[in-house]
Amino acid sequence: MKKYCLIFTIFFLSTKLFSQNREFKSIKEALAFSKPDSVFVLDLSNQELGDFPLDILNFRNLQKLSLRNDHLKAVPEEINFLKNLKVLDLSGNDFSVLPKSFSSLGMLEEFFLDNNNNLILEENIEIISKLPSLKSLHLENNHLQKIPSNFKKLQKIENLYFVNNDFKYVPKEILGLKNLKSIDFRKNPISKNKDFYRVENHGIKIMW
């Protein structure tokens, strides 16, 4: 009896692990495979959706979601239903401001906002700064030359990615981020000014 219980337990755990690691490429595929609560990774990138598919909200246990290059015109207030999200990619879309409810994504650790030409960074920082678990923020290829003064509100951020922007100098606002561990400035026309060395002296790793 113990042997059968052990076999069942191993089968159950392996099935659960497989489900958690499986990446679905469409909502239809995800629903065909399993119940909505068993979908943890959903990649809907490069599908040029235009509108945010509200059916995504059925997957309440989603941990990783990509809507990269889908030309989303807006992000709905209801995105806060996805309470278990840890990684979210909203790069390559057309919206300018995130909804205020976005700050309720309490488990979000890594957020991608690359290639968003319409982004109003200052307004979004007010919302992003309220995410309690956010550690990594990607703002790559956004034609940034500077960052807004409220950037210093990102006190929990550990990793920043500014690859392929237009920074000529290290922004002084970076110095106020007490938990920052690394910044990626590759593919920027950046020069080593005094703030560059001050950042280095704070023990922050700079990639450039």
Q: What stretch of H or E contains 182?
A: strand 182-184
- What mean pLDDT comes out for the span 75-94? 97
* pLDDT tops 50 at residue 11: no
* pLDDT tops 70 at residue 8: no
* pLDDT tops 70 at residue 13: no
| pLDDT top residue among 183 and 191 | 183
Spell out the domain ranges in the chain: 24-207
Over its C-alpha atoms, the chain yields an Rg (Å, rounded) of 20
**CATH code for the domain defined by 24-207:** 3.80.10.10
Q: Do 83 and 103 contact (CB within 8 A), yes or no?
A: no
Over the stretch 119-152, which tens digit does the pLDDT of each residue have?
A: 999 999 999 999 999 999 999 999 999 999 999 9
pTM of the model: 0.88
Q: Do 62 and 84 contact (CB within 8 A), yes or no?
A: yes
Identify the band that residue 194 occupies on the pLDDT scale cut at 50, 70 and 90.
low
Q: Do 169 and 199 contact (CB within 8 A), yes or no?
A: no
SS (H, E, C) 117-148: CCCCHHHHHHHHCCCCCCCEEECCCCCCCCCC
Task: Please give the Cα distance from 156 to 178 (Å, whole number).
Answer: 8
Nearest-CA neighbor of 64 among 30, 98, 33? Answer: 30
